[in-house]
């Protein structure tokens, strides 16, 4: 089994990042996180990385004259680290088509809802849970998917349902969903480490 080299991108608190770090340390995920990149120098995810001796890199578009120069830097960090998979864990920026093309089917994202519903532009964080409650759906869930050029659109790797309860607020639903996120992301990464997934017809299939 190959130990996967990961680079994680995050913008916020990084509880998903933490869960992946913990699962790697517990031997449940056969991977190493080579670096954590954040567009926000003050984001707690960078602190989490440092605590685990993972290089914490602040990289923002604002530091570069053009979007292309930003991409040059980003791609060079990924190349230097011989990255197998890029892990988006609450990264609030969109990767350019150039980066997505360079790492086709090698970028994973987690979404706090059941795609292809409740996704797309503006559908992030609490907005997802608000929309789910508004719809009257009795289940929500978590999606781990590969990233393509269209927002929240690439091949779905794993999904898990989470019940919506009668008294739920967006915040209480978010908490229940987040707990499942913390398991499911690691499970998805481990499937790739075990080489159990193949992409055919733009869909992720379990290998037989």
Q: Could you tell me how many residues of this chain bind ligand GRF (CB under 6 A)? A: 14
Using the contact rule CB under 6 A, the part of the chain among 14-22, 61-69, 76-84, 160-168 near ligand GRF is 14-22
Strand order, beta sheet including 107-111: 56-58, 31-38, 4-9, 85-88, 107-111, 139-146, 156-163
Q: Tokens standing for 65?
A: 């004259």
Stretch 105-144: interaction string toward ligand GRF, x if CB under 6 A: -----xxx--------------------------------
For ligand GRF, give the closer residue by CB, 103 or 119. Answer: 119
For ligand GRF, give the closer residue by CB, 64 or 92. Answer: 92
Contacts of 88 (CB under 8 A, 6+ apart): 8, 9, 10, 95, 107, 108, 109, 110, 147
**Cα(40)–Cα(128) distance, integer angstroms:** 22
CB of 37 to ligand GRF, least distance (A): 14
CB of 70 to ligand GRF, least distance (A): 21
Q: Give catalytic residue positions.
A: 111
For ligand GRF, the binding residues (CB under 6 A) are: 10, 12-17, 89-90, 110-112, 178, 181
């Amino acid at each position: 089994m190959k130990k996967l080299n990961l680079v994680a991108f995050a913008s916020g608190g990084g509880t998903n990042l933490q869960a992946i770090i913990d699962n790697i340390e517990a031997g449940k995920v056969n991977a190493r996180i080579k670096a954590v990149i954040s567009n926000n120098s003050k984001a707690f995810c960078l602190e989490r990385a440092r605590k685990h001796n993972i290089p914490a890199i602040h990289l923002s578009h604002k530091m570069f004259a053009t979007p292309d120069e930003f991409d040059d830097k980003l791609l060079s960090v990924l190349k230097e680290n011989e990255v197998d998979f890029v892990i988006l864990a609450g990264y609030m920026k969109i990767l350019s088509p150039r980066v997505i093309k360079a790492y086709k089917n090698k970028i994973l994202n987690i979404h706090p809802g059941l795609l292809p519903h409740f996704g797309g532009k503006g559908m992030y964080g609490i907005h997802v849970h608000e929309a789910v409650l508004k719809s009257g759906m009795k289940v929500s869930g978590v999606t781990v998917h590969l990233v393509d050029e269209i927002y929240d659109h690439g091949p779905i790797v794993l999904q898990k349902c989470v019940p919506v309860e009668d008294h739920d607020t967006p915040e209480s639903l978010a908490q229940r969903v987040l707990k499942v996120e913390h398991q499911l992301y690691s499970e998805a990464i481990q499937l790739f480490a075990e080489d159990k997934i193949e992409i055919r017809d733009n869909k992720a299939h379990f290998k037989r």
